[in-house]
Amino acid sequence: MWTDDRTDDLSANPERSFEQLRRDLREFRDENRAMREEYRAEHLSLRADFSAMRSDLSAWQRQITQIGWAMAGTLIAAVIALVIGVLA
């Protein structure tokens, strides 16, 4: 609430008001800088996490492919054994 006393005080001491504004701006800049640094650190951490996840998924995909080929080989061997058993 802006009272007459408050208005008189501000008009009598404009330098003090500007000094308060400067302090507030400095605090804002410091907070903003800290937030940007925190964001950068989190961003780098997320990039590392996603890279690790991609590596894990690639390894998992290779393993699933190997299992699939092993099952296909086993099925082919079973079919060959069945054909040999029927012809013999």
| Tens digits of pLDDT across the chain (88 residues) | 667 777 777 677 777 778 888 999 999 999 999 998 888 888 888 888 888 999 999 999 999 999 999 999 999 999 999 999 998 7
Q: Is residue 73 part of a domain?
A: no
Q: Is residue 75 part of a domain?
A: no
Q: In whole angstroms, how far apart are CA 79 and each of 47, 73, 75, 82, 84?
A: 48, 10, 6, 5, 9
Q: Is residue 48 part of a domain?
A: yes
Q: Is residue 55 part of a domain?
A: yes
Q: What is the reported pLDDT for 49?
A: 87
Query: Structure pTM?
Result: 0.48
Q: What is the reported pLDDT for 3?
A: 75
**Residue 86 to residue 88: CA distance in whole angstroms:** 6
Under 8 Å between Cβ of 17 and 10: yes
CA contacts within 13 A on the Cβ side of 21: 7
Q: What token pair was written down for 62? A: 């290779």
Question: What is the count of structural domains for the chain?
Answer: 1
Q: Is residue 74 part of a domain?
A: no
Q: Is residue 69 part of a domain?
A: no
Domain containing residue 9: 4-62
